[in-house]
Amino acid sequence: MIAVALTSLIAFLLYLLTEWRGRKRQEGEPPLIKGWIPYIGKALEFGRDAHKFLTSYKEKYGDIFTVRIAGKYMTFIMDPVLYPNVIKHGRQLDFHEFSDQVAPVTFGYPPIRSAKFPGMDEEIQKSYRLLQGENLSSLTENMMGNLQLLFRQDYLGEEGEWRTGDMYRFCNQVMFEATFMTMYGKPTHSTRHAGMAALREKFEKFDAMFPLLIAQIPISLLGATKAIRDDLIHFFLPEKMSAWCGSSRFIQRRTEVFEQYDLLGDLDKAAHHFAILWASVGNTVPATFWATYYLATHPDALAAVRGELDRVLQLEGWESGPPPNITLTLEQLDSLLYLGSAISESLRLSSASMNIRVAQEDFTLRLERGRSITVRKGDVIALYPQSVHMDPDIFQDPEVYKFDRFVEDGREKTDFYKHGQKLKYYRMPFGSGSTKCPGRYFAVNEMKQFLSLLLLYFDVEVLEGQKKVALDSSRAGLGVLLPASEVRFRYRPRQP
């Protein structure tokens, strides 16, 4: 027994010695912060508060430094002036290596960039065009109809009666079901799917484990998560989806692509559809909550947004109150400057995505004004936009919500500066470059529609006596942060 213990101790000490003698900073490389915990490095500190962690190291080491986080060496570029130099290196710095590792394991489908599925990745990438451009018009029309259906059936009670509820839950219930119906269609003989509440609850449980899955923690170690994911995947089996009608052209095209590959089983196809559900609501729901919360707690913002909505309806001939069926076209939604700015501002305050690129070779990354850094193959280059969003040199009073921050002289404001230089990347809730979220236009459109109908149909008030809601930083790096607590609010059909 003693011999086994001694052997284990010696092995551990040798491991520590190897770690201590491991990677050293070489000439031309940024400052290296490894941390004292083997493999883990600085992962625990980063996970507690990524923004605070990175800000402190920026103050100590400058705009570029490398940190070991959970076995990966991640070089953070903290100056947005340098972002274009990173984003343009598409050959040496690739996003797909990271996504190809984590997405299949997270959602339960086989890797598609393989000889088993030739050409599938290219076809899937092409399908995302159906979420943009002229295709947005039909998505907008369907989403508007689905939102109004849910509001009328579930929330528009007797005139004048206040109803109370939890704001995040309210946003989640409406956006989850409306988005689902817009993307996947409805049952052939019904206006709504049965079991949607149960599906949403399972989705929430899976989503709670999402950060651990992305961190590549085996799903077998996460309790009931594997069984929950299996149930979610089964909801999208081909025989079930074949009984739905009115699905989006985007989902129809993906289904057509999947049918071309005999080696892709029914469960694999269903897992792909489940992944799109997560992509459609995983960040849009919390983003919708924050936009709603900030409007509801800032009367001047709510009045300005509601005012421009009323003016749009007045141009359509509606002088008193909203019509029973509201139709806002894509062009009309785009014309709502204050609404667009309010959404952009809430995203600035709540989004904490991380833009990741993996070095495909050893190379020298050339930056501004003759600067350069040496990058090793396999290292991760990371941009952390929250540091830009909260930079007082770029945004005056960055902690303060200003609904009109992105409006200037009657148009969208796009001029923001750092070190006297105009920034190309100053607001990045959806990523950057070729890896930008392909569904970003649809997501923003959904939020505009939800908020438009909410403010036109309802009076909304946050109940008094509640603390300001904080951000839950546990999902830092993965998109829009969730609220750390619920918000109690009340609503009623809008009074004249």
Note the pLDDT tens digit of each residue in 426-436: 999 998 877 78
DSSP structure class, residue 77? E
Q: Which residues of 23-43 are buried (b: 16+ CB within 10 A; e: fewer)?
A: eeeeeebbebbbbeebeebbb
Q: Is 163 exposed, middle or buried (0-12, 13-18, 19+ CB in 10 A)?
A: middle
Q: How many Å apart are CA 258 and CA 277, to the nearest integer?
A: 16
Question: How would residue 319 be classed by pLDDT, with cut points 50, 70 and 90?
Answer: low
**Do the domain assignments include residue 254?**
yes
pLDDT of residue 47: 84
Q: How many Å apart are CA 74 and CA 32, to the nearest integer?
A: 10
- Mean pLDDT of all residues in 19-25: 68
Percentage of the chain lying above the pLDDT 70 cut = 94
Structural domain of 192? 120-355+385-493
**Do the domain assignments include residue 241?**
yes
pLDDT of residue 4: 42
pLDDT of residue 432: 81
Nearest residue to 144 (alpha-carbon basis) of 156, 152, 134: 152
Does pLDDT of 9 surpass 70?
no
Contact present, 82 and 367 (Cβ < 8 Å): yes
Does pLDDT of 413 surpass 70?
yes
Q: Is 109 exposed, middle or buried (0-12, 13-18, 19+ CB in 10 A)?
A: buried
Q: How many Å apart are CA 169 and CA 191, to the nearest integer?
A: 22
Q: How many Å apart are CA 335 and CA 411, to the nearest integer?
A: 9
**Do the domain assignments include residue 275?**
yes
Judged by DSSP in three states, 381 sits in strand
* Alpha carbon distances (Å) from 316 to 311, 328, 421: 9, 10, 43
Percentage of the chain lying above the pLDDT 90 cut = 74
What is the count of structural domains for the chain?
1
pLDDT of residue 320: 64
- Backbone region of residue 433 per phi and psi (left: phi > 0; alpha: psi in -120 to 50; beta: other values): left
Q: Over the stretch 353-366, which tens digit does the pLDDT of each residue have?
A: 999 899 999 999 99
Contact present, 479 and 353 (Cβ < 8 Å): yes
Residue 492's contacts (CB-CB under 8 Å, 6 or more residues apart) are 157, 160, 161, 162, 163, 458, 459
Annotated binding site for heme: 437
Q: Over the stretch 32-81, which tens digit does the pLDDT of each residue have?
A: 999 888 778 888 888 888 999 999 999 999 999 999 988 889 999 999 99
Q: How many C-beta atoms surround the C-beta of residue 137 within 10 A? A: 13
Helix or strand holding residue 369 (H, E): none
For residues 101 and 208, the model is more confident at 208
Here the CATH number for the domain that contains residue 192 is 1.10.630.10
Structure tokens given for 300: 């001047």
Nearest residue to 443 (alpha-carbon basis) of 149, 170, 132, 153: 132
Contact present, 439 and 131 (Cβ < 8 Å): yes
Contact present, 107 and 113 (Cβ < 8 Å): no
Nearest residue to 306 (alpha-carbon basis) of 320, 295, 291: 295
Does pLDDT of 449 surpass 80?
yes
**Do the domain assignments include residue 6?**
no
Annotated binding site for substrate: 283
- Mean pLDDT of all residues in 71-100: 87
Q: Over the stretch 232-288, which tens digit does the pLDDT of each residue have?
A: 999 999 999 999 999 999 999 999 999 999 999 999 999 999 999 999 999 999 999
Annotated binding site: 283, 437
Residue 10's contacts (CB-CB under 8 Å, 6 or more residues apart) are none
Q: What's the distance, CA 268 to chain centroid? A: 24
**Do the domain assignments include residue 97?**
no
Structure tokens given for 45: 């500190």
Q: How many Å apart are CA 196 and CA 324, to the nearest integer?
A: 26
**Do the domain assignments include residue 430?**
yes
Question: How would residue 98 be classed by pLDDT, with cut points 50, 70 and 90?
Answer: confident
Q: How many Å apart are CA 203 and CA 284, to the nearest integer?
A: 14
Average pLDDT of the residues of the chain: 91
- Mean pLDDT of all residues in 142-150: 96
Structure tokens given for 278: 């997560």
pLDDT of residue 431: 83
pLDDT of residue 180: 98
- Mean pLDDT of all residues in 284-296: 98
DSSP structure class, residue 41? B
Q: Which regions of 119-241 does DSSP assign to beta strands (E)?
A: 163-166, 186-187
What does pTM read for this prediction? 0.92
Q: Is 214 exposed, middle or buried (0-12, 13-18, 19+ CB in 10 A)?
A: middle
Q: Which residues of 435-471 are buried (b: 16+ CB within 10 A; e: fewer)?
A: bebbbbbbbbbbbbbbbbbbbbbbebbbeeeeeebeb
For residues 468 and 8, the model is more confident at 468
Degrees to nearest 5, angle at CA 36 with 32 and 42: 65
Nearest residue to 355 (alpha-carbon basis) of 162, 89, 175: 89
Question: How would residue 94 be classed by pLDDT, with cut points 50, 70 and 90?
Answer: confident
**Do the domain assignments include residue 442?**
yes
**Do the domain assignments include residue 392?**
yes
Looking at 92-96, 363-367, 400-404, which range is the least confident one? Answer: 92-96
Judged by DSSP in three states, 491 sits in strand
Rg (CA), the chain: 24
Does pLDDT of 19 surpass 90?
no
